[in-house]
Amino acid sequence: MDPTRWLRHWFHAPASRAFPPEAMQEIEDAIARGEAKHDGEICFAVEARLPARYLLGGRRVRARAENVFGDLKVWDTERRTGILIYVLLGDYAIEIIPDRGVTARVPEGSWERIIGYMIGQFRAERWKEGALAGIEATHTLLGLYLPPWPGRRQALPHARVLR
């Protein structure tokens, strides 16, 4: 266990400091507007720190993101086109977890540029701007590979602050 990581997570400010309700509303609105351009459903989740069991167990951020993907039921879309953008503030980490329907159509490695840009913005403490730019880039990417599907219904919450 890395003691500096433990301290960073233990004392990290709440997620609502970086993403206050007004910013989360803008993020939700941006997701809703952009989903008309493609068949994907985006869920943005932000967490200030990992739960203690992840820190003590030495689990990676990806494992937590996959757990959140299941907890938020991002997999529960009609055509398996859910995408989780998971932000862990304590590690300045971002994971994008696409469901099977997205993975089958979007080329592997397509998410790294989006993640890299968002991390750069977050390190400069431009939280909302980085999230909105990442969401817009995700809409553009999904528009290329998952054209809109007629009659699609919204199945996912757009944005969540986990803690």
Tens of pLDDT, residues 108-149: 899 999 999 999 999 999 999 999 999 999 999 999 999 887
The CATH number that applies at residue 135 is 3.10.310.50
Q: What is the mean pLDDT of residues 91-118?
A: 94
Q: Range of 34's domain?
A: 3-161
Q: Quickly state the pLDDT bin for 65 (edges 50, 70, 90).
A: very high
Residue 138 near residue 117, CB atoms below 8 Å: no
Greater model confidence, 18 or 86: 86
Global pTM? 0.88
Total domain count, the chain: 1
pLDDT at 1: 58
CA proximity to 163, closest of 12, 28, 58? 12
pLDDT at 14: 76
Q: Quickly state the pLDDT bin for 153 (edges 50, 70, 90).
A: low
pLDDT at 64: 92
What stretches of the chain show up as alpha helix (H) in DSSP?
3-10, 15-18, 21-34, 52-56, 61-71, 100-103, 112-123, 127-145
Confidence check: pLDDT of 152 > 90: no
Q: Quickly state the pLDDT bin for 154 (edges 50, 70, 90).
A: low
